[in-house]
Each structure stands twice: as C-alpha cells, then as structure tokens.
Amino acid sequence: MPRATWTWTFDLPPSELWPVLADTNRFNEAMGLPPYVLEETPQPNGTVLRRGKGKAAGFALEWEEKPYEWIEGRHFRQAREFTKGPFRRFGPIFDLESDGRGGSKVSYALEYEPLTLTGRLFGARLARQAGGVVEKRILEAVAFAKGERATWFDIAPPELPEGARERAAALAAEVDRSPYGNGLGAKLADFVLSGMATDLAHLKPKKLALDLKVPQRAAIEACLAATRAGLLAMKWDLLCTNCRGAKLTVSALSELPRGAHCPSCNIDYDRDFEKNVELSFAPAPSVRPLGVGGFCLSGPMATPHVAVQLLLAPGEKRGVTVDLPAGSYRLRTLHPGAFVDVEHRGGAFPGVRVTDKGVEALPPGPGSGEAGTIAFANDASFELAALIEDRAWTREALTAPEVISLQAFRDLFAEATLRPGDEAGVSQVALLFTDLQGSTALYERVGDAVAFNMVREHFALLASIVRDHDGAVVKTIGDAVMASFGDPAHAVKAALAMQARIVDHDLVLKLGIHAGPSVVVTLNDRLDYFGSTVNMAARLQGQSAGGDIVLSRSVADDPAVQPLLTALHCDEESVALKGFSDPIRFVRLRTSSPA
C-alpha cells in the first residue's frame, strides 16, 4: 500500500509529547476538517458497525470507521474503509520513541489505497499535501508543549453570530459582578469566543483551572456564575461505564435518567452518581454555536484511560512491547462480553485471549506476560478490538457529589433538584452540624432585635467559612446549620475556623462531624441528604459542650484529618446514642473553654 512518511527529532521526552501529538480530535479541527457523527448499527455478533459521512478537500466521503489502535506513549494508527471518495483506505500511522538522550524521534506516515481515477492519478500529491498540513500542526503543538507558544495552533477565528462579541462582553461583566465570578469573566468570554471547539464542547472546569492557573474552586464557581449569566450552558453528562464517553447529556439535574444505552459499546449501563455523572459546560448558542459531532471520535485521547487497544483479525496473534506501571487494570473488548480485572504489581503482565464471549487472561509464559511484552490472541471468528484500560476514573471530571457540595451551586441553582421520587447514593459525604449554645438566654439577655442580628451575622460567618473550605450549607434549622463537604479534612478545617472566629461574636458554638455513605434526595424543594450518616452527625453535635468539636471515630481516623489533630487536645469518649444499638466512640477536640 502506498505510504508517505515524515520523521522529526525533538528535545522533549515521549511522555511530554504523547498528550499533544496523540490528540487527534484537536489535530483534525486544526486541519480544518468538519465535525462529523457516526451512524452506529449493532451487528448480530455484538460488534457495532460505524459509518460516517463528511466532506474534505472538496470530496464527498462515506466510510466505515475502524477502531483506532494504539499503545500509550508510543504508537497509534487508524484506517478508514471508504465507499465514496478518492481512496479506498486512508489513515495515519504514528510512532514515538526515545532517542536515548532525553529527546524523542517522531515518525508520521499516511497510508492510502486509491478507489477512483482521481485517487490513482493524484493520490501521492493529496497525501503529501495532507501530510504537509500535519507537519505544520505537529511543529506548532511541540512548540506549545515546550512553552514557546501561548496556544496550540494558529487557526482562523471561528464564525460568530452577529453581535456575539458585544453580547459576550456584557455577560462577562455580569459574571464579574457575581460573588462567584472571581474576576474571571473576561477570560471566560475570550475562551468562549476564540477557543477550540474541542475544548468547548465539554468544557471541564478543573482542566480550565490548570489552563488559567487559578484554583479549581475559582474556575468551577466562575463557570457556574457564567451559566447563571447566560454565557455558558450546563451539560449533565451520563458517561458510559465502558468507553466513558458522554452518551447521554441533559441540561438539568432533574432530567437525569437512572441509566442509558451506549450505541458505541452496544451496552446498557446504570447511573452511578459518584463516577459517571459529570457536570461540564458549553458556550451559549447565542454567543458561540458549535457544530454537531466531533472531529475525531475514537482517537487515543478520546479515551485516555485505555493504555493499549489492538484491532485483531480472526485467529490473529500479536505481541506488543509495553511496560505497564503497577495499578488496577481491566482487560476487555469493544463489544459486550466478559472482562477480567487485573491488580498489576509490576513485572510480567497477563496475556489477553479474545473469544466471542469476551476476554480471558493468559498466564505469564514464553511470549505471553514476559516483562515488557503482552501477547494478544483473537480466537473469535470475527474481527475484534481488545483493550487494556486503567480502572481509575479521571480526576478532571467534576462529579455530581462534588457539585452539590459547593456553596456556589446551592446559591446560584437552588432550584436544581432531582425529579420527584428519584434518589442517588454517594459512598461518602462529610456532614457538619452546628448549633448555638444558650440562644434562648441570649434573646433574654440582649433583646430580640439585637439577638436576631447576632444570629443572622453568625449564619453569614459560618456560610463564608463553609464556602472557603469547599463545602455548602445544605440548610438551616432554627439556630443550627447543616453543611456538606466532599473531604472530611475540609469539614474539620472549617469547624476549627468556626470556633476560632465565633468568639469575636460573643457566641458559643456546638459542632459535630461525621462522614459516611448517604442518599441524596429532594426535600422541601432543595437537595438534601438522608440516612444514618445524617443522624449520626446530628447526634454528635448534641454531645458538644460548646466551644469544642465532636468528631466521629471514622473522621478522626481519616489520614488527611490526623495531621490536623496533632497540636490539639483530644479526648476519646463513647456514648449511647438514640437510634444506634451499640455505644458510639468519638473524639472531642478542645479548642476553647466551654461557656
């Protein structure tokens, strides 16, 4: 098959080049290719036939989209089989290797097979032209990776609706007027107007924080404020548990179903509030409309948790050289079937045997599982893609439990609730309960009006401390506050700050904290928590003498909490609590003398 090849050497290691050079979605957008969608048709054997249509270089194209093959950090390739256009097959082959001196050798090739007379006469020229554009983009991407450029690529500005820039400027000013804008309105507006569609289709605030060099909470709050202003729109993505793609997206939390179907993996999957419900954002269409689809729907960076993916013909056996670090992995295929979970401690890695039922692990042996070599074998009667994936979920995702434990979300989107009768489980939430000691006597001592203002100021103080520690006030009950945190250490730090600052308000605060599993429900038109973790936290607050902090044993034993306790006086106690059969052990932190 004819091939055009380019090679370069760069003074960056493969680990720094792979993330920028293997981002095929971004490269295709920079090359001016249009976005596309795939028609996905399940086949009797469980695989999925993916067919696409598009236009490039003036040619109308129709093709079958074959799965990419890649080895993370080293190699990728893809071949499309065309039924319309100048080529029968056309696709890239990319190789990346260390040069032994801290740099890298990069090889990029385009393989093509003519389909029409145009392809036969001009195939080499068309391939060279395409490769020339790729070379330009590779050099730009490497310069970006080296910090020599502020942006990935030099690309033409997007077409915007009439008045979009003026509208964006006005909305940016509104973002900055919000207490949650964090001065990021102009930067967000500029990103929306000039950023790549690849970044904007599912704008991830945690990644945005890295790009803008601001704290994560500042970026998340700014995105929420921009949504309230109308610059951005919310996208609640229900990610496929297999490919982790956003196969179902809704605009409101109340519209989230309990499960969905992934046409790419041909599986049904359930909703897991902690893992596969993610909040992302996109530009408001009145400011920056985005096309439907993507520029590359199956490249290595589309599923970065997949370390190895091979497309194997029936009966094919292949060995790949890759040394996977220790960790938790899963062996599976792209079609529904059995999978194998592997706890890899380094050294030899199991081989992978594919059948029409799924995957089996091969024990280490000659050519299979030797250190640095993994053997693959397809014993099915049809072509299959075999995968080795990292089971850890990305930390860039802004999960639903994180969102609802942010004060900005609670304040800006108080109406955002689950639909009636729906509920969602979370494996851990840290709940903090407060109450004022002697509030009745306070009203008698200083009078109703003064006492009311003191209590109101105390609510504002506690709310600001909760926000500063990445938490959210769930509700107030009389003089009491219930707050939630994603991290027990954040809850303890907030409690310490509350006790340190409340003394200036001539008030005495009782505090209790517990962390554990809970159920998220809609109660009184607000998101709330329900279950024994809530009851325990409330009961522990009742054990507070005032001026102290009562922690459940599980919170005190948390590895991130223990360093916070070393300089404090801690008493271990136990008590029988209503609703719990056994005595409850807890830790009392003495932060000041009780009133």
Q: What are phi and psi of 134, to 5 degrees?
A: -60, -45
Does residue 323 carry a pLDDT above 50? yes
- The percent of residues in the chain predicted with pLDDT above 70, rounded, is 97
Does residue 387 carry a pLDDT above 80? yes
Strands (E), 313-464: 317-321, 327-333, 340-344, 351-355, 358-362, 373-378, 384-390, 424-436
In the prediction, which pLDDT does 48 show? Answer: 92
Does residue 21 carry a pLDDT above 60? yes
Q: What is the C-alpha separation between 311 and 380, in angstroms, rounded?
A: 12
Q: What is the C-alpha separation between 18 and 589, in angstroms, rounded?
A: 49
- R_g (Cα) of the chain, nearest Å: 28
- The percent of residues in the chain predicted with pLDDT above 90, rounded, is 71
Tell me how long the chain is: 595
Does residue 62 carry a pLDDT above 70? yes
CB-neighbour burial class of residue 232 (10 A; exposed 0-12, middle 13-18, buried 19+):
buried
Does residue 378 carry a pLDDT above 90? yes
40 CB contacts (<8 Å, ≥6 apart)?
48, 49, 50, 263, 264
In the prediction, which pLDDT does 235 show? Answer: 95
Q: What is the C-alpha separation between 276 and 528, in angstroms, rounded?
A: 20
Q: What is the C-alpha separation between 80 and 65, in angstroms, rounded?
A: 5
Q: What is the C-alpha separation between 335 and 566, in angstroms, rounded?
A: 52
- Rounded mean pLDDT, 12-35: 92
In the prediction, which pLDDT does 446 show? Answer: 73
Amino acid letter, 71: I
Token representation of residue 215:
């704290």
- Set out the domains of the chain in order of their start, with CATH numbers: 3-145 (3.30.530.20), 164-300 (no CATH), 306-390 (no CATH), 417-590 (3.30.70.1230)
Q: What is the C-alpha separation between 330 and 172, in angstroms, rounded?
A: 44
In the prediction, which pLDDT does 4 show? Answer: 87
pLDDT band at 370 (very low <50, low <70, confident <90, very high): low
DSSP 528: E
> Which residues partner with 40 through β-bridges?
50
Average pLDDT, the chain: 91
Token representation of residue 249:
């997206």
CB count within 10 Å of CB 526 equals: 14
pLDDT band at 58 (very low <50, low <70, confident <90, very high): confident
Do the strands 80-84 and 87-98 form a parallel or antiparallel pair, or are they unpaired? antiparallel
In the prediction, which pLDDT does 402 show? Answer: 93
In the prediction, which pLDDT does 594 show? Answer: 43
Amino acid letter, 439: S
Residues 25, 36 contacting (CB under 8 angstroms): no
pLDDT band at 593 (very low <50, low <70, confident <90, very high): very low
Does residue 404 carry a pLDDT above 90? yes
Burial 303-342, CB ≥16 within 10 A → b, else e = bbbbbbbbbbeeeeebebebebeeeebbbbbbbbbebbeb
- Rounded mean pLDDT, 147-173: 93
**Per residue in 117-143, pLDDT tens?**
888 888 888 888 888 889 999 999 999
Per DSSP, the three-state class of 500 is: helix
CA proximity to 488, closest of 470, 473, 474: 470
Does residue 255 carry a pLDDT above 60? yes
483 CB contacts (<8 Å, ≥6 apart)?
431, 432, 434, 462, 466, 471, 472, 473, 474, 491, 494
Residues 462, 407 contacting (CB under 8 angstroms): no
pLDDT band at 503 (very low <50, low <70, confident <90, very high): confident
pLDDT band at 92 (very low <50, low <70, confident <90, very high): very high
Q: Which residue has the higher pLDDT, 456 or 219?
A: 219
CA quadruple 563, 565, 571, 574: dihedral, nearest 10: -60
pLDDT band at 1 (very low <50, low <70, confident <90, very high): confident
- Rounded mean pLDDT, 485-505: 94
**Per residue in 506-544, pLDDT tens?**
889 999 999 999 999 998 889 999 999 999 999 999 999
In the prediction, which pLDDT does 385 show? Answer: 94
CA separation (Å) from 101 to 21, 105, 437?
20, 11, 67
In the prediction, which pLDDT does 389 show? Answer: 95
- Rounded mean pLDDT, 266-286: 93
- Rounded mean pLDDT, 390-415: 91
Q: What is the C-alpha separation between 80 and 63, in angstroms, rounded?
A: 6
pLDDT band at 223 (very low <50, low <70, confident <90, very high): very high
Token representation of residue 42:
């399940």
DSSP 26: H
In the prediction, which pLDDT does 473 show? Answer: 96
In the prediction, which pLDDT does 371 show? Answer: 57
Do the strands 424-436 and 480-485 form a parallel or antiparallel pair, or are they unpaired? antiparallel
